[in-house]
Amino acid sequence: MEASRLFLIPVVKDQICKNLTLEEIDRFRVALELPSLKCPISIIDPKSNKEIILPGVNPTTIATAELIKQYGLNLAFTEAAKAGQNSVVKTLLTVKDININAPNILGNTALILAAAHGQNSVVKTLLTAKDIDVNKPDSFGQTTALMKAVGNKENEVVQTLLNAKDINVNATDRVGWTALMIAAIEGYDEVVKTLLTAKDIDVNVASQNVDSALVLAQKEGFDEIVQILKEAGAH
């Protein structure tokens, strides 16, 4: 087996892969006991009919290809982020035409979905992408990745997002809510503390529609949060 394996590897890599389906290439990979074959593969995005080139064949590539076949390129990306499939997300980030800020059918980007579901490793991966818009709201202007992480009490994700270069901790939704307001009215004292570590946070933001974080916490009777906010300069 070893002799034939050594003989076939360069042949599979350099010649045969060009003429085989993804399934056939994967069978060769398994037969040769290789974790991956470096030959790129192509599939067709069912949403756009465009060819997509994926870098090599391994179990991650197989999973990636199946997601693309089912959802199309950009929706596959959001589904992988939501499910915490970080290796798939990394593979998809290598695809030329990927739109990393594209919303899914419910209006949520990959970053919003990863943040909402506590997929911190995916959030970290997405934040390394050159074109990521860390403050992009959903299609309805109702939430951002930071607001979603705060609302779902994903404190580790909140911390990761606060470390993002261009994060706007004071961003508001279409009716004037900020991440700090959400944490205050929900009684999430640890999340409030995390948000207050942000250098540019404004603890006194209020709007015509929404009270300040301090007033919201007072109305809900969250005395510990009231004290935390006052110590941070809220009035």
C-alpha closest to that of 32 among 57, 64, 55, 53: 57
pLDDT (tens digit per residue) in 71-101: 999 999 999 999 999 999 999 999 988 999 9
Distance CA 116, CA 101 (A): 15
- Averaged pLDDT of the chain: 91
Residue 139 C-beta-side C-alpha neighbours within 13 Å: 9
Q: Is 158 helix (H, G, I), strand (E, B) or coil?
A: helix
Residue whose structure tokens are 């951002």: 144
pLDDT (tens digit per residue) in 29-43: 888 888 988 878 888
pTM for this structure? 0.90
Residue whose structure tokens are 């209020």: 206
Q: Say if CB 149 and CB 161 are below 8 A apart.
A: yes
What pLDDT is attached to residue 24? 85
- If you ran DSSP here, which 8-state letter would residue 164 be given? S
What pLDDT is attached to residue 92? 96
Query: Cα 188 to chain center, whole Å?
Result: 23
pLDDT (tens digit per residue) in 2-14: 434 444 444 445 5
